[in-house]
Amino acid sequence: MKQYAWAFLFCLVSINLAAQERFVTISGKIIDASTEEPLPFASVYVKESSLGTTSNTEGEFVFHIPEELKDNKVVVSMLGYTTLEKSPSTFANGEVIELAENSVTLEEVVVSAERSLTAKQIVRRAYNSLEKNYPTEPYLLEGFVRDLQKEDSTYVELMEYAVRMKYQPYNATTEPKVELQAVRRSFIAEKHPWNDERERQNAIFDLIEDEFIRFNYGPIRAKRGWEYEMEQVLPFQNRYVYKIKGRNKPFETALLYIDTETFAFVRMELTRSAHRGRSWKRRLTNGLQQMHYRVIFEYQEYQGKWYLKYQKEEDTWQVYDGLESKKLLFTKYPKKELFVNKILTESLETSYFTANLLINRSIESQAKPYDPKFWEHYNAPTKTKELSTIEAYLKKAQIRIE
């Protein structure tokens, strides 16, 4: 395949085994084999372990593998594409990782007994299989959070931090306890004066209170009003998933990806948009009106259960001068992402964990001093060119937080 200069510069795959650091580091860029376009949010993980990372929106990744796992295969996968398995030592310098897009017909992968199921019946069966497919014992997730906020056309905040979250079983509606491990970036610029008298929320708590499976709501319930349509069947990690489109008129649309064997929800997307200028919820007392809301949940299988791997929430809020006012002050565009890079299911009682994150205080007020050593081998998504540009702007525009 033809190689380009950017492929060498940004897709360099290197192996760096330093005995004193006890890590193998691989890096590269994942692209579509046919179009050569980058594949964002592809999974890169160590086979038969719970350790992994995710490619960024440019398809790039850096993955630090503990020395004790260096002989395990590294799996590169993405929904709708063939899966690649390679030993860390076989990643070559200058290599671009190509995944081939693949789709199949329903008849190719589903036994005859299942062909009669409608899309809505498949969703209901997946909902009824939650206890079978999701953890019924407490567990820990380690992950990386990125909180990026914009007001009108101007970026006003970028924050990145590492957390550990102690979850109860899937059907326990209590929110997980959270340990703030470290903060990597914290840039806050001048915001609209409307924000001055309002407490900033923790992005992590905004994320964890919205998960459909844990809190039993959204399109997974196939309640009255929701319509479902089978779109196609896609390969995923040597198995297949149904891709089902849902709609709850006039405000909501959804995409549900359901494993054809276990009926587990592998990925879920929900979009709510204002219709003819009317929002799906009333304006809040502080003048906020939500006009657009999009969430994505993606899961990974580990030890026979499915755990959260990636979550994104993007919103559009119009801010008015009071509840009854028609004066639009500005528009907010918050974007929050959680990248899970490790799952812990055993010895939780003896695992070092300190629930220290308070929901009613901002992240930066609870952060410890920056520790570069913590981030040296931390599996966070690689920074993109766009994010570098935003960061450079915010470094100049940031204000001092007392």
Q: What is the pTM of this model?
A: 0.89
pLDDT tens-digit readout, 371-385:
999 999 999 999 999
Say if residues 69 and 49 touch (Cβ distance below 8 Å). yes
Main-chain phi, psi angles of 306, to 5 degrees:
-110, 130
Contact residues for 4 (Cβ-Cβ < 8 A; gap 6+):
none
Question: Is 384 found in the same domain as 309?
Answer: yes
Percent of the chain past pLDDT 90, that is, above it, reads 62
Distance CA 215, CA 172 (A): 8
pLDDT of residue 124: 95
* Highest mean pLDDT: which range of 173-187, 246-260, 360-374: 246-260
- pLDDT-based confidence at residue 112 (cuts at 50, 70, 90): very low
Question: Is 290 found in the same domain as 168?
Answer: yes
Distance CA 7, CA 93 (A): 11
Question: Is 139 found in the same domain as 91?
Answer: no
Question: Is 209 found in the same domain as 68?
Answer: no
Burial of 276 from C-beta contacts in 10 A (0-12 / 13-18 / 19+) = exposed
Question: What CATH number is attached to the domain comprising 52?
Answer: 2.60.40.1120
Question: Is 201 found in the same domain as 152?
Answer: yes
Tell me what the mean pLDDT of segment 59-70 comes to: 93
Q: Which stretch of 18-22, 69-73, 284-288, 324-328 has the lowest confidence by average pLDDT?
A: 18-22
> Would 356 be classed as within a structural domain?
yes
pLDDT tens-digit readout, 81-110:
999 999 988 887 667 999 999 877 666 666
pLDDT of residue 93: 66
Distance CA 319, CA 326 (A): 10
Question: Is 345 found in the same domain as 286?
Answer: yes
How many structural domains comprise the chain? 2
Question: Is 345 found in the same domain as 284?
Answer: yes
Question: Is 174 found in the same domain as 95?
Answer: no
> Would 236 be classed as within a structural domain?
yes
Q: Are strands 227-236 and 154-167 parallel, antiparallel or unpaired?
A: unpaired
pLDDT of residue 143: 95
User: At residue 310, does pLDDT exceed 60?
Assistant: yes
Given 74, 99, 124, the domain boundary residue is 99
> Would 251 be classed as within a structural domain?
yes
Question: Is 92 found in the same domain as 151?
Answer: no
pLDDT of residue 277: 74
> Would 117 be classed as within a structural domain?
no
Given 99, 123, 156, the domain boundary residue is 99
> What domain range includes position 298?
133-397
Q: Which stretch of 49-58, 61-70, 186-195, 357-366 has the lowest confidence by average pLDDT?
A: 357-366
User: At residue 152, does pLDDT exceed 70?
Assistant: yes
**Residue-by-residue DSSP string for 46-107:** ETTSS-EEE--TTSEEEEEEEGGGTTSPEEEE-TTB--EEE-GGGPPTT--EEE-B--B-HH
Question: Is 289 found in the same domain as 160?
Answer: yes
> Would 171 be classed as within a structural domain?
yes
Main-chain phi, psi angles of 235, to 5 degrees:
-80, 150
Question: Is 150 found in the same domain as 81?
Answer: no
pLDDT of residue 110: 60
User: At residue 31, does pLDDT exceed 80?
Assistant: yes
